């Protein structure tokens, strides 16, 4: 369960890089009920802002400026020392995409790639601890990594964050799904999972691993209909997962991937 009581190694922020900020704002407003709040004084080169749901910050939005980059969600994990985490990433075989930098008084961030190219980020909180709403309709409820080397991913992220793992077998011979819990936390703080997939199935990234967010919705099928109505598509599902809920893997119009999930308990 993701909470806003952020501990080291737990997801605390996410933002979307997109080529068309107004189009993305309109899409997620329809699909997830998010209100877009533009950044003040940003200018064309700093186009972006915050998404809110029920007045609470749920994510960030920014214009994609990196040459050759795909539109995608970036998940940030809470750390107490971004510089120490950067050293841990390099020692574990990862690479630094954006070195640690201060964002005014809000906090300190850095972005990395794991050894196979899966991109992720960290946030060392200052005045801004992270998102303000999670595990509720229209907000982040889970994070997920698709990778061609689950064992390697476990080793890498275990060294960097100290994550605890437990495995569950998927029904119908679907493989093993590894559940992730922050270091030293009980299982009820479980925050995400990782799953091994053949490289040829990782078509969005030409075989490289990728993280994506799972968003809680009140009705999975209704959310899918809104995705398609606004120019997105469904990559997988909808499917019913016992004890989890009804879910589907979706793409927004710029091909950024995310999952919508109606939890089983609701």
Tokens of 23: 């189009």
Tokens of 244: 């989890």
**Rounded-to-5 percentages of helix, strand, coil across the chain:** 20, 40, 35
The phi-psi region of residue 223 (left if phi > 0; otherwise alpha if psi is between -120 and 50; otherwise beta) is alpha
CB 18 within 8 A of CB 135: no
How far, in Å, CA of 7 to CA of 219, rounded? Answer: 30
How far, in Å, CA of 148 to CA of 176, rounded? Answer: 13
| 3-state class (DSSP) for residue 242 | coil
pLDDT at 179: 97
How far, in Å, CA of 147 to CA of 116, rounded? Answer: 8
| 3-state class (DSSP) for residue 63 | strand
pLDDT at 44: 46
**H or E, element range at 24:** helix 21-32
CB 120 within 8 A of CB 15: no
Residue appearing with tokens 């229209």: 138
Structural domains of the chain sorted by starting position, each given as residue range(s) with its CATH number in brackets:
1-266 (3.10.180.10)
Tokens of 258: 């995310």
Tell me the pTM: 0.95
Residue appearing with tokens 């992220």: 157
CA distances from 169 to 155, 166, 175 (A): 20, 10, 6
The candidate with the shortest Cα–Cα distance to 230, out of 32, 9, 2, 8, is 32
**H or E, element range at 263:** strand 257-263
Q: What tens-digit pLDDT sequence spans the chain (266 residues)?
A: 899 999 999 999 999 999 999 999 999 999 999 999 998 754 444 588 999 999 999 999 999 887 778 999 999 999 999 999 999 999 999 999 999 999 999 999 999 999 999 999 999 999 999 999 999 999 999 999 999 999 999 999 999 999 999 999 887 777 889 999 999 999 999 999 999 999 999 999 999 999 999 999 999 999 999 999 999 999 998 999 888 899 999 999 999 999 999 998 76
pLDDT at 45: 47
Tokens of 150: 């689950």
What DSSP letter does each residue of 126-157 carry, written as one string?
SS--S-S-BSSTTSEEEEEEEES-HHHHHHHH
């Amino acid at each position: 369960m993701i909470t806003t009581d952020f501990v080291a190694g737990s997801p605390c922020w996410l933002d979307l890089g997109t080529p068309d900020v107004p189009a993305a704002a309109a899409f997620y407003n329809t699909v997830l009920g998010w209100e877009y709040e533009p950044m003040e004084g940003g200018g064309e080169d700093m186009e972006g802002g915050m998404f809110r749901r029920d007045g609470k910050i749920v994510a960030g939005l920014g214009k994609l400026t990196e040459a050759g980059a795909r539109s995608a969600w970036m998940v940030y994990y809470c750390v107490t020392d971004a510089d120490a985490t950067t050293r841990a990433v390099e020692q574990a075989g990862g690479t630094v995409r954006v070195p640690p930098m201060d964002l005014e008084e809000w906090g300190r961030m850095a972005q990395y790639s794991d050894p196979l190219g899966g991109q992720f980020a960290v946030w060392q909180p200052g005045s801004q601890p992270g998102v303000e709403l999670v595990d509720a309709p229209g907000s982040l409820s889970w994070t997920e990594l698709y990778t061609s080397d689950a064992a390697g991913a476990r080793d890498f992220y275990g060294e960097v964050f100290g994550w605890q793992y437990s495995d569950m077998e998927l029904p119908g011979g679907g493989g093993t799904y590894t559940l992730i819990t922050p270091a030293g936390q009980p299982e009820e703080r479980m925050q995400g999972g990782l799953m091994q997939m053949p490289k040829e199935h990782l078509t969005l990234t030409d075989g490289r691993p990728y993280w994506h967010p799972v968003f809680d919705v009140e009705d999975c099928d209704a959310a899918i209909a809104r995705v398609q109505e606004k120019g997105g598509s469904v990559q997988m599902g909808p499917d019913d997962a016992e004890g989890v809920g009804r879910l589907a893997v979706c793409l927004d119009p710029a091909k950024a991937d995310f999952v919508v999930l109606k939890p089983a308990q609701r």
